[in-house]
A and B are shown apart, each in its own frame.
Chain A
Amino acid sequence: MVIAMRFKTYITVWLCAAVLAGIPANAPAQSKEYQIKAAFLFNFAQFVNWPSTAFTETNAPFCIGILGDDPFGQALDQTVQGETVDNRKIIIERSKNIGDLKNCQMIFVSRSEKKHINEILANLDSQPVLTVGEVEGFAESGGDIDFYLAGPKVRFEINPTATQSDGLKVSSQLLSLGKIVQTAKGDK
């Protein structure tokens, strides 16, 4: 009942918002989730230390790559606008090709790349790139962080083995906040 109530409330809010904004009904929900996810992405950058080898040059900007379809719309751009990571400017690269994202320190693997996950991960294995996915089993597959939804809340799994092997130092806070998963052996 409670869930039903809450759901109903969400519907109402969304409807109202949709009416007011004049946008499709599902668009704000999508937007909300990805606004959060965008913020999370930015926050991951705060709690992870990249080795200096991850950057091509000292003043190189911090690059966030979106592999596949961009679900964020303007949300990610808005989130990182004016922000820095470790005194580096943040730039966002979008591409459907992993090769285009060679300079990125963090790559968000869109849901559209679900079928190519193992391929993508194998490509990025042992490179100082934080891989963030939103498909179930992404972390078990060797991805670093995987979003999932716990009810209305956005949560994430983290695979410390993967991050370690990528040469990333993940803050203990982040580890404590995320759901720790290990790489499924059978998949390898």
Chain B
Amino acid sequence: MIRLQNLPLKRKVTLVILLTCSAVLLLACGVLAAYQLYDFRKALISDSSVLADVIGKNTCGALAFQDENSAKQTLLALQSEPYVSGARVYDAQGNEFASYVQEGAIDQLPVHPSAEGHSFQNGHLVLFHKITLNNKAIGTIYLQTDLKGMYDRLRVFGGIAFLVLAGSLLVALVLASPLQKPISGPILDLTQTVRTIAERKDYTVRVPSKGTDETGLLVDAFNQLLAGIGERDAALRGEITERKNAEGKVQSQLARLELLHRITRAISERLDLQSIFQVVIRTLEDNLPIDFICICLYEQNANILTVANVGAGGEKLAAELGMTRDARIEIDQNGLSQCVHGSLVYEPDISESQAPFPRRLAKTGLRSLVAAPLLVESKVFGALIAVRKQVESFTSGDCEFLNQLSGHVALAAHQAQLYEALQQAYDDLRQTQQAVMQQERLKALGQMASGIAHDINNAISPIALYTESLLEKETTLSPRARDYLSTIQHAIEDVSHTVARMREFYRQREQQLALTPVKLNELILQVVDLSRARWSDMPQQRGIFIKVETSLDAALPQVMGVESEIREALVNLIFNAVDAMPEGGTLTLRTRLSDQPTRLVHVEVCDTGIGMDEQTRRHCLEPFFTTKGERGTGLGLAMVFGIVRRHNADIEIESAQGKGTTMQLNFPVPATQAISASKDSAPFVVPTRLRLLVVDDDPLLIKSLRDALETDGHLVVAAGGGQDGVKAFRTSVEQKEPFAAVITDLGMPYMDGRQVAAAIKGLSPATPVILLTGWGQRLIAEGDIPPHVDHILNKPPKLRDLREILARCVQTKPA
């Protein structure tokens, strides 16, 4: 059934016709065959009856006269009947009288007769017939006819029926083919049309209309249906196209959103502007078709855009445009000015633009431009400029995207700026905190140091006075003694300077030093000598050898500076170099002059030691930074740096780990060398025989001072304390033997120098008071000269200074 279902219509119709014909024919043949069978049987029975009757008649006599042979002969006549397979005659008593069996047939004849009649048994017709003579039954004849004949006839009939059937079907087939066309034709047309529609999706195809029968109606209805479908299809297509467009828009919107998200996330992780701009530009270049892109920063005052970052893809173009990094763009009246006023500018075609910036872009083949402002708190600080070579290539979506992006970028940039400011503030705060801490430390150190310095100044004052006095007055000294004494004098001077500087640690303010011309070559040789113990003796005790080389430029000009400070700096550098060479090495001290760009004297201290890493190099000048652990104070290089800065010089450090370090101090060369003329050449007249009061609690100082002053021919009255001094002065005033000047120490028990000075001025305002102090230099520098004090003399006092002050006192006195 399924097979029939799947057959093509044409065949189906044909098949139906054929099946119908076959069924009818078969029925007809069957009926005919049945009738034939019936007829044949009837004929057979009739024939057999007749035959039996004839034979009965013919054997009547034989029966009557009991002549079996005759009967047999009669029966033999049946040989001419091929279908009679056997016959038997029974006498009146029912006994066998005569028999006939066809040749080849089996004797199955019944022994006794049955009642008259016929029946079909085992493919045979058997028939019993009474033989009568004069209406009296004298016997029975049995006739057995096989049905071969009937079957033969049926076979022949069957053959004929088959031929008729086959012929009829053939005719039916031949006829069905054209006859089924009116039925199957329109349906096939329909099918073909449906297939065509299915293949081409073309709903304009129509089935040719034929006639007005049901098929015709069906075709018309189908065509109407097609028209309807075509309309709906068109509508649907329109809708689909619309939806696809919408979907495409949504997709691109999503892609942009994703991009925006990506960029936003990327830039939110970055905190410096350049990195943010770079990420933005690179991501845009990678994800959008953009021919040139840059981010510019806006300088409101100059009304100029500065290119901050250019896309890598557009670098060549940027060079062509002259819009490389840090290039400046004038803001024209058209696009850019609108942009810097905070609105997004889109120029779909800049080829005709007259404004200079678009024209510049247009020259290189760029056509459409978008400039999005970077706005923070409604203030434009920059612009994102994206350019494409195609005309009108930015969609409204692109513009919106760039606008949003620029918003995010601006926000991120703003954050970066805020972060930078915060970082700066934090750094400042930390530095301040460090400075404060350092100051606190230095203050403590300085307070301690100033006490020590005071004592040291006091202690070395006699040495200085005596040494100077000896060198000056003792003309009989041997050259060797003179040499020793002058070395002592230098050392004392250094000591006093060192002591003076010790207190600078807690001093924040830079003081103006009295700069004198310094011969650096000589200074270096001195320093090498001074530090010999450190670079030669101490290492050698540990079996380490450090070689020291000097390479000095003989034509080196003098520089302005404080010799002791520079010496101190150099000593520090040498100590550091020695510390950097725990395995030994070479220490080189070099001086040279360079003219370009300005005249500079370079002093280099080079070692071949362990060197510094970048981190160390960067921090080594900071105070309290040390790599020496407990041994280092972290003040050495900080001090050097301070000294260098005070000399208007700078320091360059060249170092790499394992490659040694070169510290280079660069001193400016003064324009003229004439400044070297110093004030010491100023002439003054040394007064003699002055009556002087010296007040000090240190007997050694009093003694040395008295000796020095008395050597100069002055009269010296010494007082061991403030009160004693004031008493002595009062006595002298009362005795009318006034002192020409009072020299008093500042720090004294019970009554210090200031009180003494006040008391003396109270008694005799005209008497000059000279304050002798270990803090003298500081007081002068700070302008902190106590009231009632006329002059300040530093400890250890120099004879020369003392004389000069006394001379000035005497000079001013008459006035």
Q: Show the binding face of A for B, using Cβ within 8 Å.
A: 36, 40, 43, 46-47, 83-85, 153-154, 156, 171, 173-174, 176-177
Contacts and interface: CB of A to CB of B under 8 A. Distances in A.
Interface string B411-447: 0000000000000000000000000000000000000
A30 B64 CA distance: 20
B66 A173 contact: no
B62 A177 contact: yes
Contact of B61 (A36, A83, A84, A174): A174
A145 B67 CA distance: 16
A173 B67 CA distance: 11
Given A173-B60, A177-B70, A46 B65 contact: no
Nearest to A47: B61
B70 A43 contact: no
Nearest to B60: A173
B134 interface: yes
Contacts of B60: 173
A173 B70 CA distance: 9
Given A47-B61, A171-B61, A177 B67 contact: yes
Interface in B57-75: 58, 60-62, 64-67, 70
Contacts of B61: 47, 171, 173-174, 176-177
B31 interface: no
B133 interface: yes
Interface in B68-127: 70
A174 B133 CA distance: 13
B70 A46 contact: no
Majority-rule SS of A interface residues: helix
Contact of A46 (B62, B64, B66, B67): B64
Contacts of A171: 61
Contact of A153 (B64, B66, B70): B66
Interface of B: 58, 60-62, 64-67, 70, 133-134
A176 B66 CA distance: 13
Given A43-B65, A153-B66, A173-B58, 6 more contacts: A43-B64, A46-B133, A171-B61, A174-B61, A174-B65, A177-B70
B429 to A, nearest CB: 167
25 contacts: A36-B66, A40-B65, A43-B64, A43-B65, A43-B133, A46-B64, A46-B133, A46-B134, A47-B61, A47-B64, A85-B134, A154-B66, A156-B65, A171-B61, A173-B58, A173-B60, A173-B61, A173-B62, A174-B61, A174-B65, A176-B61, A176-B70, A177-B62, A177-B65, A177-B67
A43 B62 CA distance: 11
Contacts of A85: 134
A164 B64 CA distance: 22
Contacts of B58: 173
A46 to B, nearest CB: 5
Contacts of A83: 134
Rank and list the top 7 A-B pairs by shortest CB-CB distance, nearest first: A173-B61, A43-B64, A177-B65, A177-B67, A177-B61, A46-B134, A177-B70
Contacts of B67: 177
A85 B62 CA distance: 19
Nearest to B134: A46
Contacts of A174: 61, 65
A146 to B, nearest CB: 14
A43 B65 CA distance: 8
A154 B65 CA distance: 9
B374 to A, nearest CB: 151
A153 B68 CA distance: 11
Contacts of B134: 46, 83-85
A106 to B, nearest CB: 15
A47 B60 CA distance: 10
A176 B62 CA distance: 9
Most buried by B among A36, A46, A85, A171: A46
Contacts of A173: 58, 60-62
Most buried by B among A40, A85, A153, A173: A173
Contacts of A154: 66
Most B CB contacts (10 A, CB to CB) among A43, A47, A85, A153 go to A43
Nearest to B67: A177
A83 B133 CA distance: 12
B75 to A, nearest CB: 14
B138 to A, nearest CB: 9
Nearest to A40: B65
Nearest to A176: B70
Nearest to A86: B134
Contacts of A84: 134
Nearest to A171: B61
B60 to A, nearest CB: 7
Contacts of A36: 66
Contacts of A153: 66
A156 B64 CA distance: 13
Nearest to A173: B61
B65 to A, nearest CB: 5
A173 B65 CA distance: 10
B69 to A, nearest CB: 9
B250 to A, nearest CB: 123
Contacts of A47: 61, 64
B534 to A, nearest CB: 180
A42 B64 CA distance: 10
A164 B22 CA distance: 70
Contacts of B65: 40, 43, 156, 174, 177
Contacts of B133: 43, 46
A171 B58 CA distance: 11
A113 B61 CA distance: 29
Nearest to B136: A83
B787 to A, nearest CB: 207
B410 to A, nearest CB: 149
A154 B67 CA distance: 10
Nearest to B133: A46
B72 to A, nearest CB: 13
Nearest to B63: A43
Nearest to B64: A43
A81 to B, nearest CB: 13
A176 B77 CA distance: 15
A25 B66 CA distance: 25
A54 to B, nearest CB: 18
Which among B61, B65, B133 has the greatest number of chain A C-beta atoms within 10 A?
Answer: B65
Nearest to A154: B66
Contacts of A177: 61-62, 65, 67, 70
A174 B60 CA distance: 10
A176 B67 CA distance: 10
B62 to A, nearest CB: 7
Contacts of A40: 65
Contacts of B70: 176-177
Name which of A36, A84, A153, A177 has the most chain B CB atoms within 10 A of its CB: A177
A36 B66 CA distance: 10
A40 B67 CA distance: 12
A175 B274 CA distance: 157
A3 B134 CA distance: 36
B412 to A, nearest CB: 147
Nearest to B62: A177
